[in-house]
Amino acid sequence: MFFFVGLVLTFVFIRISVRLIRAKVRWWPGNIVHGDTHVHHVVFGTVLLLVSSVGGLVIPDDMHGARLGLAAMLGVGAALVLDEFALILHLRDVYWTNAGRLSVDAVFLAVGLTGLFLLGARPLGYDDLLDLNPDSTPVDAFALRIVAILVNLCFAIVALLKGKIWTGLLGLLLPVVPVIGAVRLARPGSPWARWRYAEGSRKLTTAYRREARLRQPIIRAKIAVQEFISGRHDLPDN
């Protein structure tokens, strides 16, 4: 819970901060600069991640207050790093460009998955694996559970390769969901489409048509929500 609170509050704060900086509000502190170098907040996030992770390893379990504080610190560090995830990926400042939307996607994904875990969701087969004991569980039952978990994992991986990120990740928690994502057409531009759909093929043409008819309205709605929270990514990609 403390990790989740630290993650959400820090993301909201840092987005308010960068929007005020971008608007050149006089009373708000500007960017942190060392000489001619703009120190991005991913630097502070990386330090917090390291400190909180190492602290979590060395601090005894009975020091509950300290461990809760480290959990919150881990959430703060994760938010600062994920908010500049696109910068790490592209190795250049793309914060306010279209490519910078990936950072917001990463934070939304982290918040969504953490929220599901807090509500009690667990990866499919997690409880089964904890209960499995090769010495006491019948061999056929043991093998059947392992096979079911691996099959579901394979479907989830295929869904991810087809460009269906949420379907693939939710499929790790919910059965049947990854099957739907795996059997349907891949999204254009996904690894699966590049590998399996020839240019001009019927499948690729249908995928583009579905993308325009079904996916694009959803993406526009998602972008509207994200930009309401995080600001407009309207600078040109270099």
The H or E element spanning position 37 is strand 37-38
Nearest-CA neighbor of 201 among 214, 191, 188? 188
Position 212 scores a pLDDT of 84
Cβ atoms within 10 Å of 193's Cβ, excluding its own: 20
As a whole number of angstroms, the distance between CA 205 and CA 198 comes to 10
Residue that wins the pLDDT comparison between 77 and 214: 77
In this predicted model, what pLDDT tens digit does every residue of 50-107 receive, in sequence order? 999 998 888 888 888 888 889 999 999 999 999 998 888 888 888 888 888 888 888 8
Position 127 scores a pLDDT of 63
Q: How confident is the prediction for the chain on average, in pLDDT?
A: 84
In this predicted model, what pLDDT tens digit does every residue of 109-140 receive, in sequence order? 888 888 877 877 766 666 666 566 656 666 67
As a whole number of angstroms, the distance between CA 238 and CA 235 comes to 9
Cβ atoms within 10 Å of 116's Cβ, excluding its own: 15
Q: Residue 172 corresponds to which amino acid?
A: L
Position 168 scores a pLDDT of 84
The H or E element spanning position 38 is strand 37-38
Query: pLDDT band for position 9 (50/70/90)?
Result: very high
Position 73 scores a pLDDT of 92
The number of angstroms, rounded, from the C-alpha of 20 to the middle of its chain's C-alpha atoms is 25
Position 238 scores a pLDDT of 63
Contact 67, 31 (CB under 8 A): no
Position 199 scores a pLDDT of 86
**Percent residues over pLDDT 70 in the chain:** 90
Per-residue pLDDT averaged across 199-219, rounded? Answer: 84
Alpha-carbon radius of gyration of the chain: 22
Query: pLDDT band for position 45 (50/70/90)?
Result: very high
- Which segment of 1-5, 51-55, 172-176, 184-188 scores lowest on mean pLDDT? 172-176
As a whole number of angstroms, the distance between CA 154 and CA 138 comes to 25
Position 232 scores a pLDDT of 82
Contacts of 7 (CB under 8 A, 6+ apart): 75, 76, 78, 79, 107, 110, 111, 114
Query: pLDDT band for position 171 (50/70/90)?
Result: confident
Judged by DSSP in three states, 83 sits in coil
Residue that wins the pLDDT comparison between 131 and 204: 204
